[in-house]
Structure 1
Amino acid sequence: MLRDALLGLIRERGFDTISVQDISERAQLNRSTFYLHYRDKDELLTQIMRDMLLELSRRSHQLGDSPDRLHRTLLEWFQHAVEHPELYHLMLGRSGMRAFSVQLRNILEQLMNLDLERANSPLLIEGVPVPVLNRFLTSAYMGVLEWWLDRRSLHSPEDMARWLGALTSMMGSHPPATSPQSPRGK
C-alpha cells in the first residue's frame, strides 16, 4: 500500500513535494504504521528501487545462457522501464538519484559479464580488457536508456533492444582502432 501510494504521488506531484503524511493518507494508514517500517520517505523509495533492481536482475538471470540472451536482456530492461517509468526517471532523469543509477549500472555490469566471460563471445574485442569493455557497453546502454526516457519512450522496447543489439554486434565485428605510431623525435 505504501509503495503504491508513493508511486502515485510521485506521478502526480514529484518526489520532493511529498511528505510522510501524504503517503500515509494515500495508503489509508496511520503515520505510526509508516514509521514502523521506514524512517522516512527516502528509505521507502530506496526499498522500492532495490526491489525493482532485484526484479530486473532476477528476470535477466532467468534467461540463462541462451544465444539470444543479450537481446532478451535488453528487451526485458526496456520493458521494465516501461512498467516503472517514475522510478527510472527518478534514477536516471535529469534530476536523477546517483546512488540508484550506480546500483543499476552495477547490476547491468554483472549481467554483461555473463556474456563477456564466454570464451567465444562475439562481444570480445582483441586487446580490450573485459572490465573496460563491460563499463563501455553498460555506460552506452544506460546513456541510450536515459535518452529514451527523456523522450518518453519514443520507440518501442522491441525496437530499442534490436537496435542496441545490432550496435553491439557491429562493435564485435570490427577490429579495434590502433593509435598511429608517433614519429620518432630528432
Structure 2
Amino acid sequence: MKKQRTDPRVIRTQRLLRHALIELMEEREFEQITVQDISDRASIKRVTFYLHYKDKNTLLIQTIDDVLSELREQITKYISHSNEFQFHENEPHPSFIELFHQIAAHFPFYKALLVKNRVAYLTSGLLEIIHEFVSEGINQTEPDDNNLTANRDLIIKYVESAFLEVIIWWVENNMHYTEHEMAVQLMTLSIKGPYHHIPTK
C-alpha cells in the first residue's frame, strides 16, 4: 500500500504555526501565549489553527517531537558506524559533531524552548536521547567495568547530565564556540577529564 502524501498546503500551514510558536516563545513565557497570538503571528485564521491542532499544547508537543525525532535519527546514523572510528587527538567522533550541528540547525527552537522557556517535555526528551548517545559511546569505548573509575550507571548519569547543561550553556551564549570546537572539547572531557596532568597541589 502506498503511503499517502500530505497535502503541501497542510505542511506549509503547520510549518507557519510552528515557526510562529517558536518566535513567540523567544519573546515571552508559553503560558502568556494564546492560540490567537499564534494564529496572528502565522497570518492565518484562528479557525484554521484548530483544523490542525487541538490546542497550543498539542502544537508544542508535536513541534518538540519532530525536532527530537530528527536529532535521534541523524545521530543514530553516525553511532551505527562507531566501530569503524579510531580516536585521534583533537579529532572528535562524527556523532559528537552531528549532535551540535543539529542543535545549531534548530537554534531558535532550542533558544526559545530550552533557555527562554525551560520546557520540561523537551528537557526530558533531549536527556533521553543524550542518555542513549552516552551509553552507546561508553559501552563501545570501554565494555570492561574493571577499567572504569566508577560504577557504569553513575558515569553515564554524570556525563549525560553534563552534556545537557553544556548544550543549554552553549545555546544561552549564542553558540560562542563552533560545532567542531564544542565536539572536540566535550569528547576530550568525556574521555580524559579536565586535566592534562593530575594536579599535585
Query: What range describes the TM-score normalised by the shorter chain of this pair?
Result: 0.7 to 0.9
Query: Which structure has more RCO (C-alpha within 8 Å, separation ≥ 6)?
Result: 2
* TM-score normalized by the length of structure 1: 0.78
Supply the distance in 1 between the matched residues of 2:133 and 2:118 (Cα, whole angstroms): 23
Q: Which runs of 5+ in 2 are unaligned?
A: 1-15, 197-201
User: What is the Cα-based RMSD across aligned positions, in Å?
Assistant: 2.9
| Aligned partner of 2:191 among 156, 159, 169 | 169
* TM-score normalized by the length of structure 2: 0.72
Match of 2:46 in 1: 31
Identity in percent:
28
Q: Which runs of 5+ in 1 are unaligned?
A: 175-186
Give yes or no for the alignment of 1:107 onto 2:129.
yes
Match of 2:174 in 1: 152
Match of 2:8 in 1: none
- Counterpart of 1:50 in 2: which secondary structure? helix
CA spacing shift, 1:78–1:124, aligned 2, 3 Å: farther
Shift of 1:28: 3.5
Give yes or no for the alignment of 1:21 onto 2:36.
yes
Shift of 1:168: 1.4
Supply the distance in 2 between the matched residues of 1:105 and 1:51 (Cα, whole angstroms): 16
Question: Between Structure 1 and Structure 2, how many residues are aligned?
Answer: 172
- The aligned runs of 1:1-186 (5 Å cut-off) are 1-11=16-26, 13-16=27-30, 17-63=32-78, 64-66=80-82, 67=85, 71-93=93-115, 95-118=117-140, 120=142, 125-126=147-148, 128-171=150-193
CA spacing shift, 1:124–1:49, aligned 2, 3 Å: farther
